[in-house]
Chain A
Amino acid sequence: MSLKNVLENFSYFRQDAESGGTHKYEHRFGMAIDLDICTGCNSCSTACYAENNLPVVGKERFEKGQAMHWMRIERYWDEQEFEGDFAEQGAKFMPMLCQQCGAATCEPVCPVAATYHTPDGLNAQVYNRCIGSRFCSNNCPFRVRYFNFWSYYEDSWPEPLNMQLNPDLSVRDKGVMEKCTFCIQRIRVAKDTTQREERPLKDGEFLTACAQACPTNAIVFGDTMDPDSNVSKLWMKHQVQRGPFTHKKEKANEELRGYRVFEELNVDPSIMYLERVRDTEV
């Protein structure tokens, strides 16, 4: 994007997220996570460790909050149960990963443009460009950006554990911010294949590591721009749309389960959660 380009197309570039932003999207990958069938088993999180060269930080660093779990399962106890004797409705699990916001708060604060929006609708982090200012993680409402406080590669993969490292993406060094990429290396392989075979991307042709591992298939991944993809159908079914926040009450059916976490912040998250259900009769 040269200065000339910016000046010539100023009105186009200054469009805000509400008016569609300035992106020419090829795809907009998104997810739907059904909290009703998420069992909180941690399979997705471990699959993420395996796929994305995530370092194991050890007890002492975990204590300091330096764990590098791009995908974590948060567990909450029900507020009402603080009064009752027992957690009668079980626990509340929430897989939390980068929401790949359409109007991401992390992007504009990067002083070196190491985090940016890709034509696939992802908030990408260019590791070799990152200088570790950590502005982005401070600006993330979801706390899903992880900073390499140490050179983890030195002791996270003692021989021969390092043989497992995925060569499709780099091992990040100290001073670099990193985050969930929706398994961008898989996206790359899939797009290369479709390009070679000269056909559009099929729904379900590839999945993120978490979606592929999930034993209950609670995570549905796909292109939200493809109206026939499973994820689009789910978004439509639950009347969740891209773009700015619409209050539940403004929806045709306000009882539908779909919602996006912190969507009221107008960050346009790419992950729709489906509300957890509990039987009140029991």
Chain B
Amino acid sequence: MQVVKNSFLRDLIWSLRGRFRMKTLKQITSAMILVVAAVCLPATSFAELPVPSHIIPPTGEHVGEDVPQPIEFPHDRHVKDMKINCMYCHTYARRSKVAGIPPTSKCMGCHKIIATDKPRIQKLTEYWEKGESPRWKKVHDVPDYVHFTHEKHIRKFVEKADFPVEDVQQVCALCHGEVREMTVAEKKKPLNMGFCQRCHQANGGPGDCWKCHK
């Protein structure tokens, strides 16, 4: 891209790079576009996910690095187009601290029949036939000294709040961003202590250090 000519802008961009630890020009420009979009185009062509009324959303944005995955899994196709619930695949979220990557057999449950001609599905089938699972890269990862549990958050914000499970993606989006707009997952929220802490304070979460640190 040739747009970055103004030296002031370039400085701004490179300082942004430092601030958010972005590596490539592509990231920077996409971040710029995002900033511009956020500032200038409040009403975009796609409808934003509503924030559930019973939650004060955590504040903080983050522009994550591109994380190449073994298969470029299209979340948008599955979530937006196919209307598959997050917890259909990430089934452990309501039972365990981790949401879990679905077992390959679950993918194959549909893709034995559906879209078998697509290269990504063929790659998946290859894995399946070898008896291996793809080695995915973790995108939303918290440091090893942090204890985070999906189960408790789902219980508080979905089960206890009588929030309709079919809309669970609105809750997920608070920390994971609008995954329905992504192919492979990108980190859109900082997931750092301030982010967590602000939400805990606003929504009455625990404030004891050892609740979250280990």
Query: Which residues of A are interface residues toward B (Cβ below 8 A)?
Result: 116, 118-119, 122, 124, 126-129, 168-171, 184-185, 188, 192, 195-196
Q: Which residues of B contact A127 (CB under 8 A)?
A: 145, 213
Contact: B149 with A128, CB < 8 Å?
no
Do the beta carbons of B143 and A196 come within 8 Å of each other? no
Residue of B nearest to A172 (CB): B145
Q: Which residues of A contact B151 (CB under 8 A)?
A: 192, 196
Known: A169-B214, A185-B214, A196-B155. A116 touches B209 (CB 8 A): yes
User: Which residues of A sit under 8 angstroms from B143, Cβ to Cβ?
Assistant: 128
Is B208 located at the chain interface by the 8 A CB criterion?
yes
Judge if B210 is at the interface, Cβ distance under 8 Å: yes
What is the interface of chain B, defined by CB distance below 8 A to chain A? 143-145, 147, 149, 151-152, 155, 208-211, 213-214
Partner of A119, one of B147, B149, B208: B208
Indicate if the CB atoms of A128 and B152 lie closer than 8 Å. Answer: no
Chain A contacts for B214, CB-based, 8 A: 168-170, 184-185
| CB neighbours of B147 from chain A (8 A) | 168, 188
Q: Which residue of A lies closest to B209 (CB)?
A: A126
Q: Which residue of chain A lies nearest to B214 when distances are taken between CB atoms in the complex?
A: A169
The reply to whether A126 and B210 contact each other, CB–CB distance below 8 Å, is yes
Are A124's CB and B145's CB within 8 A? no
Name 20 extra pairs, CB < 8 A, besides A126-B210, A171-B144, A196-B155.
A116-B209, A118-B208, A118-B209, A118-B210, A119-B208, A126-B209, A126-B213, A127-B145, A127-B213, A128-B145, A129-B209, A169-B214, A170-B145, A170-B214, A185-B214, A188-B147, A188-B211, A192-B149, A192-B151, A196-B151
* Bound complex: CA A171 to CA B147 (Å): 13
Which has the most chain A C-beta neighbours within 10 Å: B147, B151, B210? B210
Contacts of B209 in A (CB 8 A): 116, 118, 124, 126, 129
Docked complex Cα distance between A122 and B147 (Å): 18
CA distance A117 to B17 in the complex (A): 40
Task: Give Cα distance in the complex from A169 to B145, angstroms.
Answer: 7
User: Given that A124-B209, A124-B210 are contacting pairs, would A170 and B149 also be in contact in the complex, using a CB cutoff of 8 Å?
Assistant: no
